[in-house]
Structures are given as C-alpha cells and as structure tokens.
A and B are shown apart, each in its own frame.
Chain A
Amino acid sequence: MNQIIIITIITLVGIGTAAAVILYFVAQRFKVYEDPRIDEVEEALPGANCGGCGFAGCRAFAEALVKNELWDNLYCPVGGNENMARVAAILGREAVEQAPQVAVVRCHGTPGFRARTTEYDGAPTCAIAHQLYAGEGGCPHGCLGLGDCVESCDFDAIHMNPETGLPEVMDDKCTACGACVDACPRDIIELRKKNKKDRKIFVCCINEEKGAVAIKNCKVACIGCSKCFNVCPFEAITMNNNLAYIDPVKCKLCRKCVEVCPTNCIHEINFPPRKTEKAETVEEENK
C-alpha cells in the first residue's frame, strides 16, 4: 500500500520537474520582450476603449505612445490635457496640449421649422434612411432623427430629445471622442473648441443648397446671405457653397452675427441674457 503511494509521488514529482525544465528553456528561447512602460501607460489612460484617438483601444494607443517619437497625432480626447501630462511624466517626455473640444449638433430642423412631408417606415437607422431618401422633412442635409449618434456614444453623452426629434449633447459628459461624428451619415455633428462656461456660437445648419431652395424645406436653414460674414469683426466667418461657417478658433464670441442672421440659424448657447437698452437704463438708475 505504502509502496504505491511512494511510487506515485516519485513519478509525479519526476514529470513535474521534467516539464518545468522544458518550459524554462522554451520560455527562454521564445521570449517576447515587451516594454514594461506600455502597461504603465495603459494604466494611466482612461480605459474606455472608445477609439477616439484613432487606435483600436487604449492598449494599442499606449503602444503607439511608447513607440513613436513624435506625438503630433497622438492625443486622447477623453482624458484631455491632464491625462496626457500624466502619461508624459511616466515616459519622461513633454506633453502635447490641445484645446478641449465638444461635439455640436448642427441642425435645428424641429418639426415646427421643418414640416414633415413624408413618413419613414423602414429600418430605424440613419445610415439606411440616408441611402434611401432625403428624409421626412425633405431637407437632404438635415438630421434624420433615428439616433445613430446616440447608439455610437460610449459615454451616454448624446440623447434624442423626443420633442424636437433632434439629438442633444450633454457638454459635461462629452469627451470629444468623435464616435458620433463618424456615425452620422450626413456629417451634421462637428467637434468644436470648448469655451468658458460651455459658451457656444455656431451656424446651426449644414445645408449647402441655394437659399431659396433651403428655406423651402426648413425655416431655420442657412440661406447663404453673407450678412454674418460682413458683420464679423474677426474674420472668423467663411462662406462656402451657400453656407456660412464660423471658425471656432477665430471666433471671439462677440455675438454680432447672431443678431443679423435673418433665419436665426446662428445659435448662441449658455450666454447670459442680452442687455436691452431698457434694461441697461434701469440698471443705471438702480446705481
């Protein structure tokens, strides 16, 4: 009885030792060197695997950060400058800074402004509807309202507003990863520079048709009248294909363009209410 146990133990120990020796040599022979800093960098990254940096995930991005000398095109929009500084510290390099951005939906074709002339009954994705036709309101550039952008967001930062039928971005949650920008088949969503107090001024329309045609489908379309272009003191507005565009970097948020727009398609968001002349006089009197 005892003998059996002893033989068994000896045999197992023997097999174990032999396997260990073989494994040791194999591991030596086929060793893959991996920079330990990759793990450290990956640890420091947000770990959302959203692909906002253009890589297949945080790991791939970490590898690129360690490997590449130039960091010009390497930036994690989710973590932002702070995060990039931390990564730079790990690698003993200098961080690249970028102005924080936020996604902006450039269509305001609510049912009130853009009457529904047809009803879409097909597969509920924008990509398919875009292929099929111009959309329920008839604007070939406008939001289709089927929520491909909502689907694409990993951060729960964009939602459909059931009243307007348009998506709305929550500025505090948006990481500017650009997933919604890619998901939108009509390129309505744009990443724009984030300003103080989330203030925004932008042309809320991307319709490049002639003014008369554009206004037929939607009352708040940009008609390409160039009034904003003429009034802008900072040359931040450009006119292309019957459409005004405000450069977010050049724009100083003076709000002059908002006042002159005849179709109210330039939006100002998160600004304090404008002082009317009457209000000003009241204020002065109070003083």
Chain B
Amino acid sequence: MKLKTFAMGGVHPPENKLSAGVRIRDLSLPEMVVIPVSQHLGAPSKVIVERGEQVKTGQLIARAEGFVSTNIHASVSGKVTKVDVFPDPSGYRRLAVQIKVEGDEWMETIDRSDTLVEEITLEAEEIRKRIVEAGIVGLGGATFPTHVKLTTPRGKKAEYLVVNGVECEPYLTADHALMMERSEALLAGIRIMMKGLGVEKAILGIENNKPDAIEKMREITRGTGIRVAGLKVKYPQGGEKQLVKAVLNREVPSGGLPIDVGVVVFNVGTVHAAYEAVQKNRPLIDRVVTITGKSLARPSNFRVRIGTPVAHLIEETGGLPEDTAKVINGGPMMGKALSTLDVPVVKGTSGIVLIRDGEARRNVVIQCIRCGKCMQVCPMGLEPYLLMNLSEKEMFERMESERVLDCIECGSCSYTCPSSRPLLDYIRLGKAEVNKIVRSRKAV
C-alpha cells in the first residue's frame, strides 16, 4: 500500500531521534519553579495568589482572562516567594509566579492512581468545562487553548477528529514515547475528545518512522472505529493543515482553519492531558519533554513539572556538554534558541535540543540565485524568496496579497536554500507587520 502524505512541498531533515525508545521518567522536583502567566496564545491569565501564600500541587494560581485564555495551576506544592517579572525563553521579562518547593502535597480532588478509567460518564458540555478548568492548551507547540477548538463555531460542523501523532520535528520523541507507554489512556482521551466534539470518526496520523507506535495503536484501536493512518515521512507533516491533507485529502482554504473542512486536529499530548483532566481531574501541571543532543550523556524523555528551570533538566541528563553552542527550546526546525538556561519549561515546551558547536552556526549568506527551491519545498505553496524581498523593502500590503499570513513558519525554505538566505526570519518579520496592519484595519 502506498503511504499517504501531503501534496505540496516538504523537506527531509536528518531525523536524529536519539531518545527514541527511552522510557518516560518523572523528573525530580527542582528547588524553585517559575510559572509564567502567559504560556498560551491569547490573553495572559490573572494571578490570584499572593506572595507568602502556601499552595498545593494542582491548585489554581492564575485564572483565564476572557475566552481565548487558560487557567494556570501550581505544578508543585510550597510557598509563593514572588509574583514578579522573570525572563521568558526569549529573554524578555514577563509576569510569572515563583514557588519554593516544599514537599509534594497534592490537591485532594486529583486522582493520582495509575488505574485506567475508560468509562466516560460526562456529557460533552461537562467535558468542555473540565478542560477549561484544567487549563489545557495545544501541547504540540502552538499552545492554543483547547476548549476554544472544542467549541465549534456557529454554522460549522465537525465531522472528523484528527489526532496528531506525527512528530515530524527531528530529535523530538515525546509524542512517540507517549503513544508507546500510554496508549490505553490515549485511546480513552481520543474517545473523550470525540464525545466533546460530537464526532463519530477519528483518525490518528503517525509517520512511518515510528512503526512500533503505528502497530501498537492499531492493535488497541481495533474494533473501535478509530483509524490509524501510517504516513510517509516528510516535514512538516505535523502542521495541522498538512496533516488534514495527508489523512483526509481535504484542503484547508487560505486563511481558514481545519474546521472549515469539518476537521479538528489535536496533538497526542493534548489528548492525553485531556484524558487526565476529564477522568482523573488532574490539571495540566506537567508535560512530556524530550531532552536530547548528540553530546548529551543520556538523551531522555521526562515528565516535567511546568515551571522547572531548563538548567535543572540538563543537570538530570548528565550536565551540559562542553561543546554545546546552542540550546533550542522546541525542535531544531521551528524551535527558538534560548538566551539563558534559567528559563522555565512551559506548556509549549516539547523538547530541549542541545546543538554542538560545529552544527550551531549559520552558513554565510550569499545572493539569491533564483533556483526556486524555496517555492518547491513550501508546504503552503508560497513564494518565500519574493516574500523575503518584499519584507526587506517594507512592502507589507503586497505581502498580504501574496498570502504571507498563510505561512506556518515551518522553516523549510530557510533549510533548503542553497544560498543560506534567512528567508523565514524576514518572512516572520513581515508577517508580524501584516498582522499589525490587519488588526488596525479591524479596529477602524
């Protein structure tokens, strides 16, 4: 059988899945955690604890402000030492809550046992409410609040649930590990999401560089009506529009969302978190993080409490290797380099990748040779070389008509450019400017 994939563009970066097959371990608790109030797309949450207050693990510490926002919970028990600004992964300082860890006392309402609760007793409305309360966001990296996606806009109907187990980023293995070790919980999570959305059909997309995961998920989903689709390896298959095209052959219109073609996409991490929220009443206080690098002593998959400093994570895997030149938050394709190791793991941190000196630097930029490779690999059918030129010349209106807002920032263009031009950097700049223009137009 021919494996499916998306139609347009794509690249094949070396996979380097060093931590594949490493079992997920709970990371030891750090001395201090720093929990930012803005870990998701949308409005920052409002802090409801004060300095000096004792909090328990799972206690609500910041409430959602508005619909597109999420609740944030204490990931450890202890004393709130500061509500102040702390550097976030980009080095800019933003509001966060610092908690000094004292023991590990959980909220009584949380079911911490390992028993699998398969039976779904709640109605769709209650499922959504639980997910709002638990502060669940998209764990694939974009951190879009999950309850917003679960609420189908008026006039549209969800037909399919697509679960994203693609993990197309090189190095990362967190989703893979989750599918291998928590398959039953994941299955229950998929059923919860199906009920929450009111859909009958679900598809789990997995790239075929994880044959063990495909096999395992096929086995346990047999007879449930949930289909597991093995997909041909190609980056960026984990982009939701690409995934929808690959598994259902439906094209999301320009400027639209998968719901426009009757599909809602969730990452496997999100689905797993939803299972724990709905069945175990456990808010999103930790996530699976891959920590990897070619020189690292023990590349691992850890279950990490939100707010744990990245430095603590590296310490636990054998310390920072001498030849580390870059520490990337996320995968090497879409992640961002950290400017300090004192930043916390947040809900969107899917991995920490340590890059060695020889591989960290960018090549020397030379002029565009008009080879058109960037157009060939763009999964959205854009013209990256043109967008970069327009961005440099500040022709933002033209950029808008060239559909820059469709760019998913996958970086395939920059990756493939033989002249090593910083295409995505400029496109991202232009995209931000165009977004500003669009917003000001809406305001008028």
Taking beta carbons and an 8 Å cutoff, which residues of A are in contact with B? 117-118, 121-123, 125, 127-128, 131-135, 138, 140, 209, 213
Residues of B within 8 A of A132 (CB): 90, 336, 425
Kindly report which residue of chain B lies nearest to residue A136, judged by CB atoms. Answer: B339
Q: Let me know if B256 is at the binding interface, CB within 8 A.
A: no
Tell me which of B34-42, B121-129, B261-269, B426-434 binds A: B426-434
Residues of A within 8 A of B360 (CB): 121
Residues of A within 8 A of B340 (CB): 117-118, 138
Q: Let me know if B141 is at the binding interface, CB within 8 A.
A: no
Kindly report which residue of chain B lies nearest to residue A134, judged by CB atoms. Answer: B91
| B339→A118 contact, CB < 8 A | yes
Instruction: Give the interface size class of chain B.
Output: 10 to 19
**Tally of A-B Cβ pairs under 8 angstroms:** 50
Interface of B is mostly: mixed
Q: Which listed residue, A128, A133, A209, touches B425 by the CB 8 Å rule?
A: A128
Q: Let me know if B93 is at the binding interface, CB within 8 A.
A: yes
| A134→B85 contact, CB < 8 A | no
Q: How far in angstroms is the closest Cβ of chain A from B5?
A: 30
Residues of A within 8 A of B91 (CB): 118, 133-135, 138, 140
Q: Let me know if B393 is at the binding interface, CB within 8 A.
A: no
In the complex, A122→B426 CA distance in Å? 10
Q: Let me know if B87 is at the binding interface, CB within 8 A.
A: yes
Q: Which listed residue, B93, B337, B339, B432, touches A213 by the CB 8 Å rule?
A: B93
What are 25 A-B contacts defined by CB distance under 8 Å?
Answer: A117-B339, A118-B91, A118-B337, A118-B340, A122-B422, A122-B425, A123-B425, A123-B426, A128-B425, A128-B428, A131-B428, A131-B429, A131-B432, A132-B336, A133-B92, A134-B90, A134-B91, A134-B92, A134-B339, A138-B91, A138-B339, A138-B340, A140-B91, A140-B93, A209-B85
| A140→B92 contact, CB < 8 A | yes
User: Which chain B residues numbered 397 to 444 have a C-beta less than 8 Å away from chain A?
Assistant: 422, 425-426, 428-429, 432
Q: How far in angstroms is the closest Cβ of chain B from A221?
A: 14
| B429→A133 contact, CB < 8 A | no
Q: Let me know if B2 is at the binding interface, CB within 8 A.
A: no
Kindly report which residue of chain B lies nearest to residue A121, judged by CB atoms. Answer: B362
In the complex, A128→B362 CA distance in Å? 15
Residues of B within 8 A of A122 (CB): 362, 422, 425
In the complex, A209→B426 CA distance in Å? 29
Kindly report which residue of chain B lies nearest to residue A209, judged by CB atoms. Answer: B93
Q: Let me know if B361 is at the binding interface, CB within 8 A.
A: yes
The list of the 9 closest CB pairs from A to B, nearest first, reads: A134-B91, A123-B422, A123-B425, A133-B90, A133-B91, A118-B339, A128-B425, A140-B92, A133-B339
- 7 additional A-B pairs beyond A132-B90, A133-B90, beta carbons within 8 Å, are A118-B339, A122-B425, A128-B429, A134-B91, A134-B92, A138-B339, A140-B91
Q: How far in angstroms is the closest Cβ of chain A from B354?
A: 15
Q: How far in angstroms is the closest Cβ of chain A from B353?
A: 16
Residues of B within 8 A of A128 (CB): 422, 425-426, 428-429
In the complex, A205→B85 CA distance in Å? 20
In the complex, A127→B426 CA distance in Å? 9
Residues of A within 8 A of B429 (CB): 125, 127-128, 131
Residues of B within 8 A of A213 (CB): 85, 93
Residues of A within 8 A of B336 (CB): 132-133
Q: How far in angstroms is the closest Cβ of chain A from B425?
A: 4
Residues of B within 8 A of A133 (CB): 90-92, 336-337, 339
Residues of A within 8 A of B90 (CB): 132-134
In the complex, A132→B91 CA distance in Å? 9
Q: How far in angstroms is the closest Cβ of chain B from A147?
A: 14
Residues of B within 8 A of A118 (CB): 91, 337, 339-340
